[in-house]
Amino acid sequence: MDETVAQPILSAAERKHRAKRFNEGMKLSATFFNATAILTLGTAFISPLVQHPADVFTNNGWAFLLASVILHLIGQIALRVFLRAEE
């Protein structure tokens, strides 16, 4: 038998509430990626400056810089693409 479970029709207030909850989760994810990007950027510059001030980009500095940009872009994509309308 092909039994399907009928989904209840949600009220406008319930749809708005669910969209708001989903958006808060997306904002939290974006905040995580942006904070990780800042941490990676700090690792790319602060650690080499403390150890060897003249060699900022010689030991994986460019890789850390690229990683921080990619993490920031992931956070921005999460905000731009996945947010739902709360109308």
Convert the pLDDT of each residue in 74-85 to its tens digit.
988 888 888 777
Amino acid at 67: A
| Chain CA centroid to CA 54, Å | 33
pTM (2 d.p.): 0.70
Closest CA to 44 of 22, 68, 77: 68
pLDDT in tens, 32-71: 999 999 998 888 777 777 777 666 666 667 788 888 899 9
Cα–Cα dist 14/76, whole Å: 27
Residue that is written with structure tokens 């602060």 in the block: 46
- Residue 15, Cβ neighbours under 10 Å: how many? 15
